[in-house]
Amino acid sequence: MSWPVSASVCKAALACVAAAALWFAARPCYADGPQEYEAKAAYLLNFSRYVNWPGADNSPMQVCVLGQDPFGEVLDRALQGRSSNGRQLQARRLQLPEQAVACQLLYIGQSEDRHLSDWLAPLQDKPVLTVGESPRFLRDGGMINLLLVRNTVRFEINLDAASRAGLKISSRMLGVAENVFGKGEGGK
């Protein structure tokens, strides 16, 4: 015997599943080498699911790493066979900052800290979600900064930078962030 299920019940169930997925990525993951970057790769996967890009289509979503790659195969495994909002996820490694405009999500590691403001400036009004792990990342115009809080990977958000780029971050993601800076006003 089957029970009729309304569309609103299905939407509510899907919202609960999505919230659980984001919570799973926000669980404590301790910073001890490879596990730290497994946690960070899980965050990148979930960020792709909780951000809306303007004019998104069905082409693969490019998740890019600029400069020295701290993930190795971890990021490829995390994204393999996965999709976000109907778009297949693909990992790319970049050596030149001008290649980043083709990405939807761009990770800039600490190894690139000395070039950070130069590399973020041309992306400030482009729909590229920038993610980093530098104490000055948000101040230099980055959107999401990964940080360690009591040896646990967490994140903070520069809502104004995301808004200027036309990106909309889900309230669920904002709710689990360690810190949210800005009001997100004045976006495209």
3-state class (DSSP) for residue 176: helix
Q: Where are the alpha helices (DSSP H) in 127-179?
A: 159-164, 171-176
Sheet holding 144-149, edge to edge: 83-84, 87-94, 61-66, 105-108, 129-132, 144-149, 152-158, 179-181
Residues 6+ apart with CB under 8 A from 56: 85, 87
pLDDT for position 97: 87
**Mean pLDDT in residue range 93-104:** 92
pLDDT for position 113: 87
pLDDT for position 43: 97
Q: Which of 11-15, 47-51, 89-93 has the lowest mean pLDDT?
A: 11-15
* pLDDT-derived band at 33, boundaries 50, 70, 90: low
Judged against a pLDDT cut of 60, whether residue 12 lies above it is answered with no
* pLDDT-derived band at 32, boundaries 50, 70, 90: low
pTM: 0.81
Instruction: Report the alpha-carbon distance of residue 108 to residue 67 in Å, rounded.
Output: 7
Instruction: Report the alpha-carbon distance of residue 138 to residue 143 in Å, rounded.
Output: 6
pLDDT for position 64: 97
Using only C-alpha atoms, the chain has a radius of gyration, in whole angstroms, of 17
Query: Higher-confidence residue: 3 or 97?
Result: 97
pLDDT for position 185: 64
Give CA angle at 102 (96, 107), nearest 5°: 65
- Sign of the Cα pseudo-torsion (41, 46, 51, 56, in order): positive
pLDDT > 70 fraction of the chain, expressed in percent and rounded: 80
Judged against a pLDDT cut of 90, whether residue 132 lies above it is answered with yes
According to DSSP, residue 30 is labeled: B
* pLDDT-derived band at 2, boundaries 50, 70, 90: very low
